[in-house]
Amino acid sequence: MLLWALSLGPASLVTTVSAASVLFTFIYSIGITKIWVGVLGEDTSNESILIKLLSTVLIVVGISAISI
């Protein structure tokens, strides 16, 4: 689907949106862990979640900056 999206739109927009999938994965995993405690074996302390969120945001921002 990435190649199809690249053929339809600007590469900078397509790569930014595809990089945002990492952010959605983070949000879904936190949601699943909050609903079913321990199912993913993740540490859900506030400090751990904040570090993971900041890391994910840095990945998305970095990919967006490179593609622009």
pLDDT of residue 16: 76
Q: What is the pLDDT of residue 54?
A: 93
Q: Residues 8-22, buried b or exposed e (16+ Cβ, 10 A)?
A: eeeeeebbbeebeee
Taking residues 44-55, report their average pLDDT.
88
| Residue recorded with tokens 């949601």 | 31
Mean local confidence (pLDDT), 8-36: 83
Higher pLDDT residue, 20 or 27? 27
- In the prediction, which pLDDT does 51 show? 92
pLDDT exceeds 90 at position 24: no
In degrees to the nearest 10, what's the CA dihedral of 55, 47, 24, 56?
Answer: 0
Q: What is the mean pLDDT of residues 15-25?
A: 80
Q: How far is CA 59 from the centre of its chain?
A: 8
